[in-house]
Amino acid sequence: MPDPIISIQGVSKYFGDFMAVEDITIDIEPGEIFALLGPSGCGKSTLLRMIAGFEDPSEGRVLIGGEDMTGVPANKRPVNMVFQSYAVFPHMTVSQNVAYGLKMDGLPKAEIKEKVAEALEQVHLSQFAARLPDQLSGGQRQRVALARALAKRPRVLLLDEPLSALDAKLRDAMRLELVKLQESVGVSFVMVTHDQSEALAMADRVAVLKDGKLMQLADPMTLYQKPANRFVADFIGRVNFFDVTQSTKGSAEIIAGPLGALTLPAPVTGTGEHVLALRPEYIRLSPAKEGGLTGTLGDVGFQGDSSIVEVTLEGGKQVQALAGPEDTTMLLSLGTGAAVALSIDLSQARLLPA
Amino acid sequence: MAKRKKPAPFDYARKWPLRLTFLLTTLFLYAPIVVLVIFSFNNSRRGGNVIWRGFTTDYYVKAWNNAGLVEAFVNSLAIAVISTVFAVFLGAITAVTLWRFRFPFKPAYEGLVALPIVIPEICLGVAIAVLFSTLGLYVPPGAPWPFNLTNIIIAHITFSFPFAAMVIRTRLNTFNREMEEAAKDLGASEYRVFRDILLPHMKPGLIAGALLAFTLSLDDFVITFFTSGPDTVTFPVKVYSMVRFSVTPEINAASTVLILITLVVTAIAMRFQTFEDPR
Ligand SMILES: Nc1ncnc2c1ncn2[C@@H]1O[C@H](COP(=O)(O)OP(=O)(O)OP(=O)(O)O)[C@@H](O)[C@H]1O
Ligand SMILES: [Mg+2]
């Protein structure tokens, strides 16, 4: 395994009494896209700003390329940042913006010119070099911010909510483009986002944060299929939770609320309260027959290729199921209020600490 | 249901009370100035004379040849220019300090800075005059121009720099802090951030503050009156003393020139002023 390019070691950050980031340890590998994901206020921007040098950790330290960055100011760190507002300098042209960081490095004019041209090429902005930022669209301004940061050849590019200021259509296009750009320049990206689909689609690895604490660090597939706890299961994708009323360590037999007695594929490993998490795609609906688990059909949320179907179980518990195109047709013909049978793929159910 | 019609941009002009208000305010604002300018060309010996007696530029020549008036005029311009430079400089430093730093008693200090704006001018004038005399701060008579104006200049800086500070402070509030961080992130030192990023952002505020300080100084009467001596007469003070004897079209002529100068200065300042939106 290569040495990590960024090593966050036991970092905490207090603002007064308030703990914004709590004892976080993360290693970021060279050449990967790493996402910091979490709800608003969970401390992801604060963590990113500690890497950039705009905040000092209250505890712990940050290493970049193996060097301790404690006490190194932002303007001396080998990383560059793309800000949420892009922070493109309004009184400078596009090429002056991109040249600014190189000028600060004291590079000779000819070299600056060359590197600016190259950076603008990378983000397809060459023909806009002479424009002022207010003559650009939001997406173009973002590219200026990208080119400006990349022109300095940072070891790591930091991006704070890079897509949040763009409209939905552009956002999807930029996701792909950012990934392509990362592949072509080869530097690690560390991006902050509160949008789980963005993190899953773009990142090689994702750190999920909540209230300043690291909840899980894994690749997107693992996060989705094997969430470590209830928070991650809930935050990433759709999920149904069933309260587990009875479980014993070492036994695979549990009782999970309205689902009744179940036999899990593997024995329970922990004690204490648990919930059973089940993604909607592992619940299959069919017209009601005798016996088994049944419920009342609610809304069918048609999404084109599939639908999210609401079902109310006996006892009032609401669950969501994912139906394919054929099942959707069948369910729509049954109509709201019809009785349906649920079949559950227990092998995909996850028992999580509550 | 009937749709409610949205008013077109100039619909307000169809409502007669609004039209009347608009008409009257414009009239009261500009009529005196227009009259003043017109009668500077009136071929009559008395400026207060409202009867048109034919066109002449004689009074411009006369004003030009009135050494006392010209001296006062030049004094006023010199005071305005010098005090503006200092007021904007001090105002900018004050504004940046208030905007940038946190320190104990900051709200109290902010209030203190703004106080000269609300204190009646007459009180400020007396206070400054008393201060000068208590401290014995008087420029000796016969000091070379423009040093003989030092007292007035100091007084003018005192009352105009809070205005400059307020205007610049307001401009700073629209500064996007990420801009500063972005510059630092790209390797800029504190000084370079100030020079390359903050100062260009402040520019419209600096210009607006300068304009304000300049015009405030140019037409100040009350405070100047308390701090000027017989050798150091400014235009407003001179006009006041001339009007006490008789209003001649000379004053109209000199005033017209002054209006022209302010208009030109404002126009130039506006040209330099580009209000970029912070992004
Ligand atoms: N300078 C500061 N002083 C005091 N508290 C702060 C400061 N900066 C951040 N915080 C607090 O720290 C917590 C984490 O802030 P942070 O900006 O890292 O959140 P975030 O995860 O980026 O959220 P968002 O998605 O809303 O940007 C928040 O509760 C915030 O109020
Ligand atoms: Mg944030």
ipTM for the assembly: 0.84
Please check the confidence at residue B3 and state whether its pLDDT lies above 80.
no
Minimum-distance CB partner of A90 among B181, B183, B276: B276
Q: How far apart, in whole angstroms, are the C-alpha atoms of residue A205 and residue B91?
A: 51
pLDDT number for residue B273: 64
List, as one string, the DSSP characters of B160-223.
HHHHHHHHHHHHHTT--HHHHHHHHHTT--HHHHIIIIIHHHHHHHHHHHHHHHHHHHHT--HH
Q: Do B278 and A86 touch (CB under 8 A)?
A: no
CA-based nearest residue in chain B for residue A136? B279
* Out of B181, B183, B279, closest to residue A90 by CB: B279
Q: How many angstroms separate the CA of residue B146 from the nearest CA in chain A?
A: 38
CA distance A264 to B115: 76
Q: Which residue of A has its CA nearest to B201?
A: A91
Q: What is the mean pLDDT of residues B5-16?
A: 66
Q: Which residues contact B30 (CB under 8 A, 6 or more apart)?
A: none
User: A162 to chain B, minimum CA–CA distance in Å?
Assistant: 14
Contact between B185 and A55 (Cβ < 8 Å) = no
- Please name which of A301, A298, A309 lies closest in space to residue A335, comparing C-alpha atoms: A298
Q: What is the pLDDT of residue B277?
A: 41
- How far apart, in Å, do the first and last CA atoms of chain A sit? 35
- Closest alpha carbon within chain A to B192: A104
Q: Tell me the chain B residues in contact with residue A54 when contact means C-beta distances shorter than 8 Å.
A: 181, 184
Confidence of residue B77 (pLDDT cuts 50, 70, 90): very high
Q: Does A107 touch chain B (CB under 8 A)?
A: no
- Cα-based angle A287, A291, A292 (whole degrees, multiple of 5): 75
**Which residues in chain B have their CB less than 8 angstroms from residue A87's CB?**
176, 178-179, 181-182, 279
Binary contact (B185, A90; C-beta < 8 A): no
Interchain CB contact of A152 with B (< 8 Å):
yes
Q: How many CB pairs lie under 8 A apart between chains A and B?
A: 71
What is the pLDDT, as a whole number, of residue B276? 43
Mean pLDDT across chain B: 86
- Alpha carbon of B11 to ligand 2 centroid (Å): 45
Q: Which of B215, B244, B184, B105 is nearest to A152 (CA)?
A: B184
CB contacts, 8 Å: A148 with chain B: 182, 186
Residue B185 tokens read as 């992130």
Answer whether B191 touches A (CB < 8 Å): no
Per-residue pLDDT of chain A (354 residues; tens, 9 = 90+): 678 999 999 999 999 999 999 999 999 999 999 999 999 999 999 999 999 999 999 999 999 999 999 999 999 999 999 999 999 999 999 999 999 999 999 999 999 999 999 999 999 999 999 999 999 998 899 999 999 999 999 999 999 999 888 888 888 888 998 999 999 989 999 999 999 999 999 999 999 999 999 999 999 999 999 999 999 999 998 999 998 888 788 787 888 888 888 888 888 887 888 899 999 999 999 888 777 888 999 988 888 888 999 999 888 889 999 999 888 889 888 888 889 999 988 888 888 887
- B183 Cβ contact list (under 8 Å, min separation 6): A89, A100, B192, B193, B196, B197
For residue B157, what is the enclosing H or E element? Answer: helix B150-172
d(CA B51, CA B60): 19
H-type alpha helices, chain A: 44-52, 94-104, 109-122, 138-150, 168-185, 196-202, 220-225, 230-235, 325-334
| Chain A neighbors of B179, CB-CB under 8 A | 87, 89
Q: Give the mean pLDDT of B27-40.
A: 89
Interchain contact, A75 vs B187, CB within 8 Å: yes
B11 interface with A at CB cutoff 8 Å:
no
Q: Is B185 on the interface with A (CB under 8 A)?
A: yes
Confidence of residue B1 (pLDDT cuts 50, 70, 90): very low
DSSP state for residue A226 in the 8-state scheme: S
Q: What is the mean pLDDT of residues B264-271?
A: 82
Give the Å distance between the CA of A143 and the centre of ligand 2: 20
Q: Does A350 touch chain B (CB under 8 A)?
A: no
This prediction has a pTM of 0.82
Helices and strands (DSSP H and E) totals, chain B: 12, 0
Look up residue B200 and give its two tokens. 């260009």
Given CB atoms, is B277 within the 8 Å cutoff of chain A?
A: yes
Peptide bond into A57 cis (omega under 30): no
Protein residue with least CA distance to atom 17, ligand 1:
A45
B199 shares contact with chain A (CB less than 8 Å): no
CA–CA distance, B255 with A213 (Å, rounded to integer): 71
**Closest CA to ligand 1's atom 3:** A15
Name the residue of chain A whose CA is nearest to B185's CA.
A75
- Check if the beta carbon of residue A351 is closer than 8 Å to that of residue A244: yes
Residues of chain B found within 8 Å of residue A90, distances taken between Cβ atoms: 201, 276-279
Which chain A residues are closer than 8 Å to B206 by Cβ? none
- Residues A101, B179: C-beta atoms closer than 8 Å: no
Residue B15 phi, psi (nearest 5): -85, 120
Would you say residue B60 has pLDDT above 80?
Answer: yes
Condensed to tens digits (0 to 9), the pLDDT of residues B85-120 reads: 999 999 999 999 999 888 888 889 888 888 888 889
Residues with CB under 6 A from ligand 1: A 15, 18, 20, 38, 40-46, 194
Shortest CA distance from B177: residue in chain A: A87
- Asked whether residue B270 carries a pLDDT value surpassing 90, the answer given is no
pLDDT confidence of residue A97: 96
Q: Is pLDDT above 70 for B265?
A: yes
Q: Which atom of ligand 1 is nearest to the CA of A47?
A: 18
Given this model, what pLDDT does residue A79 score? Answer: 95
Mutate to test the interface with A, among B176, B181, B184, B185 (most CBs of A within 10 A): B185
